[in-house]
Amino acid sequence: MASKSHKSKAIVFYDEDDILESDGYLLVRVINHGTQGQTSIVRSLNDGKIYIRKKLIKRAEHPKTQELMIFCDRISVTMAPRVLQHFNGQTFECCGDGVAIPEALFWHLEKELLRILAFIHSGWQEGLGTVPDWQPITHADIHAGQIFLQWPEGEDDPFPQFRLGDWGLANLVRNHNTTLPGMWRRLQGLELRFFLAALLELSFHKSQDVTQEDCPIWLFQRLWEEAETAQQKQPELSLAKYIAEKFIPIADKKIQELQKSHFHDLRWTKPGAPEGFMTFGDAS
């Protein structure tokens, strides 16, 4: 009996706005079908690079339509492409192959994510200050599966960059310091609780050196308490900004100390690193 022949199929699609300038994209695989649309990995036929393509469901009557149109005035089209960069390190909940997360990486993780939270909540950027008249944004869906890792090409830093993904539930918070200050304070607290829950989830996979009293999770909780006390006197205070401004310098110092004195299994922090313990200097 003759076997059936299977023909391989390739799907090529084009961005309707730049069809004259682009050679299109080749579908590699579909990642998931979410409530906001479909997410796929694609390869550009123009430069050969891998990208993430998210196809959103059209809903002109969606209650957030007007809100998103206003938000577009703050972000140019070139800064918000529909074909996004592909992060080469999976999500944080899927990485590591069972290897315990070292303390230095935990400090780095919290530092990077606090930068993101402080920025979206208050417009604060380390070394640059706060963006005037910033309109706060909440992510509203922080968990370990939304934390993406990226190792930039050509850099020797053993640490990955961390990115917070899937902004489909994000919201602009209007009138946060006038008509709705109490609600905005509650939203900040809720966002930080999601953040802490993600850290605690990841802490189940930490190495034993993340159990000491001055660990990053403990410091975050202490600074959070300080921030809430300060906010009682300054209702307009951003909790994430307060925490980030105090946490980041401590984290930088701690990471430098750990890099000089500790050995770590770098499979968490360096793609392709051999098994066994190495110094950070050996990894670069």
Each residue of 223-265: pLDDT tens digit?
Answer: 999 999 999 999 889 999 999 999 999 999 998 888 777 555 5
- pLDDT of 65: 43
Residue with tokens 């992510």: 139
Provide the pLDDT for residue 215: 82
pLDDT of residue 70: 43
Beta-strand relationship, 12-13 and 25-34: antiparallel
Q: Is 105 helix (H, G, I), strand (E, B) or coil?
A: helix
Digit-by-digit pLDDT tens for the chain (284 residues) are 444 444 444 555 555 544 444 567 787 777 665 555 667 778 888 888 877 776 765 544 444 444 444 444 444 434 333 343 444 444 444 444 445 677 888 888 899 999 999 999 999 999 999 999 898 999 988 888 788 777 766 666 667 788 888 787 888 887 766 656 678 888 999 999 999 998 888 777 665 555 556 688 889 999 999 999 999 999 889 999 999 999 999 999 998 888 777 555 555 555 555 444 444 444 44
Domains of the chain by start residue, with CATH: 12-85 (3.30.200), 92-283 (1.10.510)
How many residues are present in the chain? 284
Give the model's pLDDT for residue 33.
56
pLDDT at 155: 61
Question: Rounded to the nearest 5°, which phi and psi values hold at 77?
Answer: -60, -35
User: pLDDT value at position 183?
Assistant: 83
pLDDT tens, residue by residue, 159-169 = 778 888 878 78
Question: What kind and span of H or E run contains 225?
Answer: helix 216-233
Rounded Cα gap, residues 62 and 46, in angstroms: 34
Q: Strands, DSSP E only, in the chain?
A: 12-13, 25-34, 37-44, 50-56, 83-85, 124-125, 129-130, 137-138, 147-150, 161-164, 171-172, 264-265, 277-278
